[in-house]
Chain A
Amino acid sequence: MTATVATRPAREARAEPGIAAEAIVEARAVDKLYDTGKVQVHALRGVSFSVSRGEMVAIMGPSGSGKTTLLNCLSGLDRIDTGEVLIEGVALSALSDEARTDYRARRMGFVFQFYNLIPVLSAVENVELPLLVARVPAREARRKALAALDLVGLGERAAHVPDELSGGQRQRVTIARALVNDPAIVWADEPTGDLDSENAEEIVALMRRLNREQGLTFLIVTHDISVGRATDRIVRMVDGEIVGEERVAR
């Protein structure tokens, strides 16, 4: 994989009207404070940022810079204190917990660093779970889940439980689970963080392929520059703020 990175200021990127018009996700002046009672951590400080439909974006930055918090807040997994998050033009704050949950079930996919598969379910059962939640009939759910596993190259491992799979295989199952319900966007938090370089490369290539072939939008939080280079754009964060954006040239 070859790519070059073109750097430009973050403020400039946010001002670009074209991106805002096609934005699938948009954050406006988002603030997030963690208060443990003893310590207060300002995890996000007035973050404004957007992702276009079909785009593959990487958020990078040092540990504690607020990358995962941003992903959680944008995807509705966590609350924000101030600001606004719009998904497909709808403000998350305007949705009830039930509606947000339903939206996640129908329009989002998640990939986590530690796979977070349900250990008591087989690979295919893990993959079909979001479909069942979205009330897809069981047979159709199974068919789609098997197809998704085929897509990530794990069709033959469908009946295996996570304990019986390698790290790379588990992450593929997670990706299959994330894309099985034809999501508008897939959120990936350190998807290669727990993998060796070979497996990491395979997973990144897989995501890139899905982005290109199926037009899936990816927002990936990562430490790994090689992952960042595989995306369309890299957003850099430090201390809860976006400090820069880089377009990846190919």
Chain B
Amino acid sequence: MTKIFGLPVADLTVVLTVLLVLALAGITVLALRNKVFFRLGIRSLTRRRGRTALIVVGLMLGTTIISAALATGDTMSHTIRSSATAALGQTDEVIGAKGIDAALASENGGGGSTGWKYLPQGYADRLARETRSSGLIKRVEPVIVEPVAVWNTTSRQSEARVTLFSTPNDRRLGRLYANEVYLNPKAADKLDAKPGDILQVLSGDRAATATVRAIIRYDGVGTDGAAVLMPLPAAQQFLGKPGLVKALFVSNTAGVSGTDQAMRVLEPAAARLGLEADNTKQDALEQADAGGAMFMSFFTTFGSFSIAAGILLIFLIFVMLAAERRSELGIARAVGTRRKHLVQMFLYEGVAYDLLAAAVGVLLGVAVSYGMVLAMVGAFASAEDVQITYSVKPTTFLLGYAVGVLLTLIVVAFSAWRVSRMNIVTAIRNLPEPLEGRHRRRRWVLGALGVLAGAALATAGVGGEDAVTLGLGVALLILGLVPILRALGVPDRGVYTGAGLALVAWFVLPIGNWLFGELKVNFSIFILGGLMIVVGASWALMYNADVLLGLLGSVAGRSKGLAPVLRMSMAYPLRSLFRTGVTLAMFTLVVFTLVVGATTSGAFTNAFNDLNTFGGGFDVRATTSPAQPIVNMRSALTQTLGARPRDFGVVSSESSLPVKARQLGTAAKEESYTVYGADTAFLSHTTYGLAARAHEYGSDAAVWRALRTRPDLAVVDSQVVPRKANWGFAMLPKFQIHGFYLEDRTFDPVHVSIRDPQTGKRMKLTVIGVLSDSAPQFMYGIWTSQRSLRPVFGDRVLPTIHLFATAPGVDPKAAARTLESSFVGSGMQADAHEDTLHDLVAANVTINRLVMGFMGLGLIVGVAALGVISARAVVERRQHIGVLRAIGFSKRMVQLIFVLESSFVALTAIAVGTVLGLVVAHQVISDSQSTPSWQNLSFDVPWLSLGVIFLAVYLVALATTLLPAVRASRIYPAEALRYQ
């Protein structure tokens, strides 16, 4: 991973570490200059060890979440990097026929292009000689890397797609006899092979028999999958390419770090031979880092609510610490302690907790990420070639620690400053802070700033048709009005209720769209909206809690046994609006996000889990080796032994060609992408839906019909079209077309140019349709008719992909197995869509659960908050407990007071978070239903999973509360009364 949130990780780590060191150095100097205050500050750590532990737990959660996201990103980056390193070994660049970069960039499950040019083996020496003087190139290896099918006659296991690798200069390959091969462990595993087994290596009509000499580990065979290694002359003879190789693998003296310099030497040298050089490893590693960053960004984004809840918890903890010591601090001020000394004392204490908590948080985050990686291993289990390996960089520890410490330090410093502004008299007497003139001024200033900034942002949002900017502006405007109205003397209940409801209304209802038309949105609106909805709901609730609790009390209070307990359990939360509100907001925030996340992701997964949508009218998809294409599949079915042509109602074939594509009439440059040529059978039969169509086409079928009947028309996938609502995290292809949004549904036809880099031939296509979002990933590309491609690109576009619609009563899974065994020589891999979809949905469900689990970490924050509040309440109310016990409250009644208090917060948060979450989820699903891609979405609430989660959390929250409550109730009344 090189970047997070668009910032370079290395630079960010350095900057944050320097800031951390400077902050800690400053605090150390202050402590050394005034050791008394330092000792006073940190003495609380050892005075109440239990509470210190609870505070550390509370403070560490934010760091845990950040570190877990970073470590997960590291692991995914490492996994993809490992895959690239295993495939390329020492190879840094690859030289081959022109177009090799497009070919390498277009591997998305297609069958690959046919007619790939081989090059003379002697070019390797020539290139090595030409580049030797630069001192940059260590080795140039001629290689054959070709997919073949292999059948182990000993174990009777076959594998349709194994990479055949050959190179002349390897010592180990040099030891092989002509009829011997090595297998790598993956191939041995798939073929159930051991040394001495006899293999049949197949490539179309060609077959060779070879004995397995040994199973060896060998990095750099061009794949991290199964490979068979053969002496070069034997491979050339087997493939019918005497004296030729497929590519040249180049290693740099300085490794991949020398790629930029090496490319400056290699490119002209390759061009002189009519070849092209590609910085393959550098690209692969960059892709790996981008992939890692995507995962990290995915988890930090979904974890941002939990991080926000964690920050609130830190604030709450220090506000409560300050409240607990208010009288003590007031006395300290009265006897001459300065404000700055109070700030310092709090900082010393806070930093001590902070340093400890962040260290524990980082370690816990790494442990959490390990659990997440284990879950992902399970999710990707169906993808045999993905091997996730856990890896965390040292910089991640440092970055996580620095972020955790600094974040807490900022909150602690603010809390300390807030504490120091106390009124000495009211602090000593523990009375509410009076509203002073300077507070009124501050309210006016803050309010005015909020309103101005809000108005400016809202205006910019309307101008830019951007819902996020507009939403932020409206939120600031509403938040800015709050202090102004309070300064004007409007009662708090009215101000906060009004502002709260306004925030909820703006972010729940599509008011922006009603007023200003459809606006651009991205994932940030979910975070901003979620936060504002929860803040608004918490305000509206807390400032009307007396009414709500009054109603509750009048109903439940009829039970004589419950009446005094209810009276007490409602009275304290109502008098501590701030702490109750913050805890409620924390809990509600997490519940809200879980409900929205679980409901919407479940709806999208269910909608995606539609075989008709996924298959587009077909049941089986098969790909063959580009080296051995099957040009006429219908005829091959009738002619091949074992194949059963009657199993299939429709047989279609498609070609795939990596091209350089660009939109005409724009300044866009050529980018690598894949063009698919579909035959008439596909274009007649397909039911794949479209998200947008060119104006003149009235239906999706009309678009497919036009592709079938008229040349040079195309359909593209939805990834290459800009959209107003950008919810995704996926890395988009560099090739993009502009001029309309996906949400427009109709557009003027767009012209694109495609060029085959190997032959240099090009053609123009007119895009008249955009595939729906629900189309499977193997449909990503530019789709046109084979009839259009063939005259221009000839043998480069022979079909390598075949889609089959099975006849009634035929099992697609069995049909796929029959196809694979019938066309093993062509390296056919066939899968029933049902199986592919099942694996994809299973992986999706696991990832969704993982994200839910990650978001659910915030629930621990909520539980910890309730624990902190209960522990604090027991200390704070010890004397009151004595009084209650004296006037007749039993132990159980005292315990019940605390349990009901926590229940009030937890259950209200669960109820409010669920209701708000369902409203927002319903909104999201309704919006999506109106788009062509997701018309089959349905609003199904996963009540069972949500119910189980919330019940578990509620019970844990009660347990956290019950412990201090039981302790409190056991104190003898006289002892409690003595407590000051």
Residues of A within 8 A of B (CB): 69, 72, 75, 77-79, 97-98, 101-102, 104-106, 110, 112, 116-121, 125, 129-130, 132-138, 163, 177
CB distance from A42 to the nearest CB of B (A): 16
Per the bound structure, the CA–CA distance linking A207 and B509 in Å amounts to 63
- Of all chain A residues, the one with the shortest Cβ separation from B576 is A120
CB <8 Å contact, A78 and B890: no
CB <8 Å contact, B571 and A120: yes
CB <8 Å contact, B888 and A134: yes
Per the bound structure, the CA–CA distance linking A120 and B574 in Å amounts to 8
CB <8 Å contact, B889 and A133: yes
Cβ 8 A contact of B888, one of A78, A119, A121, A133: A133
CB <8 Å contact, B560 and A135: yes
- Of all chain A residues, the one with the shortest Cβ separation from B568 is A118
Q: Which of B43-51, B248-256, B969-977 is found at the contact surface with chain A? A: B969-977
CB <8 Å contact, A138 and B557: yes
- Of all chain B residues, the one with the shortest Cβ separation from A106 is B888
For B889, the chain A residues whose CB sits under 8 A away are 101, 105, 133
CB <8 Å contact, A78 and B973: yes
Given contacts A78-B973, A78-B974, A120-B571, is CB(A132)–CB(B563) below 8 Å?
A: yes
B431 interfacial contact with A, CB 8 Å: yes
For B558, the chain A residues whose CB sits under 8 A away are 138
| Docked complex: B960-980 residues within 8 A CB-CB of A | 972-975, 977
Given contacts A102-B888, A130-B888, is CB(A116)–CB(B977) below 8 Å?
A: yes
Per the bound structure, the CA–CA distance linking A97 and B891 in Å amounts to 9
CB <8 Å contact, B572 and A104: no
Given contacts A77-B972, A138-B563, is CB(A104)–CB(B886) below 8 Å?
A: yes
Per the bound structure, the CA–CA distance linking A22 and B826 in Å amounts to 112
Q: Which 3 residue pairs across A and B have the least CB separation, nearest first?
A: A105-B888, A78-B974, A132-B564
For A118, the chain B residues whose CB sits under 8 A away are 568, 571, 880, 883-884
Question: Given A72-B973, A78-B972, A133-B889, list of 15 further CB < 8 A pairs?
Answer: A77-B973, A79-B972, A101-B890, A105-B889, A110-B886, A118-B883, A119-B575, A121-B568, A121-B571, A129-B564, A129-B884, A130-B887, A132-B560, A134-B888, A138-B563
Per the bound structure, the CA–CA distance linking A137 and B563 in Å amounts to 9
Classify the interface of chain A: helix, strand, loop or mixed. Answer: helix
Cβ 8 A contact of A104, one of B431, B571, B887: B887
**Which of B560, B879, B886 has the most A CB atoms < 10 Å from its CB?**
B886
B55 interfacial contact with A, CB 8 Å: no
Per the bound structure, the CA–CA distance linking A106 and B432 in Å amounts to 35
For B885, the chain A residues whose CB sits under 8 A away are 77, 101
CB <8 Å contact, A133 and B887: yes
CB distance from A59 to the nearest CB of B (A): 15
Given contacts A112-B883, A129-B567, is CB(A120)–CB(B888) below 8 Å?
A: no
Per the bound structure, the CA–CA distance linking A79 and B975 in Å amounts to 10
Cβ 8 A contact of A133, one of B564, B574, B880: B564
**Which of A106, A120, A125 has the most B CB atoms < 10 Å from its CB?**
A120
CB <8 Å contact, B560 and A120: no
CB <8 Å contact, B882 and A104: no
Per the bound structure, the CA–CA distance linking A112 and B884 in Å amounts to 13
CB <8 Å contact, B571 and A116: no
CB distance from A173 to the nearest CB of B (A): 12
**Which of B432, B564, B885, B891 has the most A CB atoms < 10 Å from its CB?**
B564
| Docked complex: B927-980 residues within 8 A CB-CB of A | 972-975, 977
- Of all chain A residues, the one with the shortest Cβ separation from B571 is A120
Per the bound structure, the CA–CA distance linking A188 and B749 in Å amounts to 93
B162 interfacial contact with A, CB 8 Å: no
Cβ 8 A contact of A78, one of B431, B560, B883, B975: B975
Residues of B within 8 A of A (CB): 431-432, 557-558, 560-561, 563-564, 567-568, 571-572, 574-575, 879-880, 882-891, 893, 972-975, 977
CB <8 Å contact, A121 and B887: no
CB <8 Å contact, A105 and B557: no
Per the bound structure, the CA–CA distance linking A27 and B324 in Å amounts to 39
- Of all chain A residues, the one with the shortest Cβ separation from B976 is A77
CB distance from A105 to the nearest CB of B (A): 2
CB distance from B875 to the nearest CB of A (A): 15
For B893, the chain A residues whose CB sits under 8 A away are 133
Given contacts A121-B567, A133-B893, is CB(A77)–CB(B888) below 8 Å?
A: no
Per the bound structure, the CA–CA distance linking A58 and B233 in Å amounts to 116
- Sampled A-B contacts (15; CB under 8 Å): A69-B974, A75-B886, A77-B972, A79-B972, A101-B888, A104-B886, A110-B887, A112-B977, A116-B883, A120-B571, A120-B574, A130-B888, A138-B557, A138-B558, A163-B431
CB distance from A239 to the nearest CB of B (A): 19
For A69, the chain B residues whose CB sits under 8 A away are 974
Per the bound structure, the CA–CA distance linking A112 and B893 in Å amounts to 22
Per the bound structure, the CA–CA distance linking A112 and B979 in Å amounts to 13
CB distance from B879 to the nearest CB of A (A): 6
- Of all chain A residues, the one with the shortest Cβ separation from B877 is A118
- Of all chain B residues, the one with the shortest Cβ separation from A113 is B977
CB <8 Å contact, A77 and B974: yes
For A177, the chain B residues whose CB sits under 8 A away are 887
CB distance from A101 to the nearest CB of B (A): 5
Per the bound structure, the CA–CA distance linking A55 and B637 in Å amounts to 113
- Of all chain A residues, the one with the shortest Cβ separation from B557 is A138
CB <8 Å contact, B882 and A116: yes
Given contacts A129-B567, A133-B564, is CB(A116)–CB(B888) below 8 Å?
A: no
Per the bound structure, the CA–CA distance linking A101 and B567 in Å amounts to 19
Per the bound structure, the CA–CA distance linking A72 and B975 in Å amounts to 10
- Of all chain B residues, the one with the shortest Cβ separation from A137 is B560
Per the bound structure, the CA–CA distance linking A104 and B879 in Å amounts to 17
CB distance from B798 to the nearest CB of A (A): 83
- Of all chain B residues, the one with the shortest Cβ separation from A134 is B888
Per the bound structure, the CA–CA distance linking A21 and B558 in Å amounts to 42
For B887, the chain A residues whose CB sits under 8 A away are 104-105, 110, 129-130, 133, 177
- Of all chain B residues, the one with the shortest Cβ separation from A105 is B888
- Of all chain A residues, the one with the shortest Cβ separation from B572 is A120
For A119, the chain B residues whose CB sits under 8 A away are 575, 880
CB <8 Å contact, B890 and A116: no
For A132, the chain B residues whose CB sits under 8 A away are 560, 563-564, 567
For B561, the chain A residues whose CB sits under 8 A away are 135
Per the bound structure, the CA–CA distance linking A125 and B566 in Å amounts to 12
- Of all chain B residues, the one with the shortest Cβ separation from A187 is B886
**Which of B572, B574, B880, B883 has the most A CB atoms < 10 Å from its CB?**
B883
For A75, the chain B residues whose CB sits under 8 A away are 886
Per the bound structure, the CA–CA distance linking A248 and B484 in Å amounts to 65
CB <8 Å contact, A116 and B879: yes
Per the bound structure, the CA–CA distance linking A130 and B885 in Å amounts to 10
Per the bound structure, the CA–CA distance linking A85 and B974 in Å amounts to 16
CB distance from A126 to the nearest CB of B (A): 9
CB distance from B900 to the nearest CB of A (A): 14
Per the bound structure, the CA–CA distance linking A69 and B809 in Å amounts to 92
Per the bound structure, the CA–CA distance linking A121 and B882 in Å amounts to 16
CB <8 Å contact, B972 and A116: no
- Of all chain A residues, the one with the shortest Cβ separation from B574 is A120
CB distance from B33 to the nearest CB of A (A): 36
For B571, the chain A residues whose CB sits under 8 A away are 118, 120-121, 125
CB distance from B432 to the nearest CB of A (A): 8
Per the bound structure, the CA–CA distance linking A130 and B888 in Å amounts to 7
**Which of B563, B882, B888 has the most A CB atoms < 10 Å from its CB?**
B888
For A138, the chain B residues whose CB sits under 8 A away are 557-558, 563
Per the bound structure, the CA–CA distance linking A104 and B432 in Å amounts to 33
- Of all chain A residues, the one with the shortest Cβ separation from B559 is A135
For B977, the chain A residues whose CB sits under 8 A away are 72, 77, 112, 116
For B972, the chain A residues whose CB sits under 8 A away are 77-79
- Of all chain A residues, the one with the shortest Cβ separation from B890 is A101
Per the bound structure, the CA–CA distance linking A177 and B575 in Å amounts to 21
CB <8 Å contact, A104 and B974: no
**Which of A79, A110, A125, A137 has the most B CB atoms < 10 Å from its CB?**
A110
For A116, the chain B residues whose CB sits under 8 A away are 879-880, 882-883, 977
Given contacts A112-B977, A138-B563, is CB(A77)–CB(B572) below 8 Å?
A: no
CB distance from B550 to the nearest CB of A (A): 12
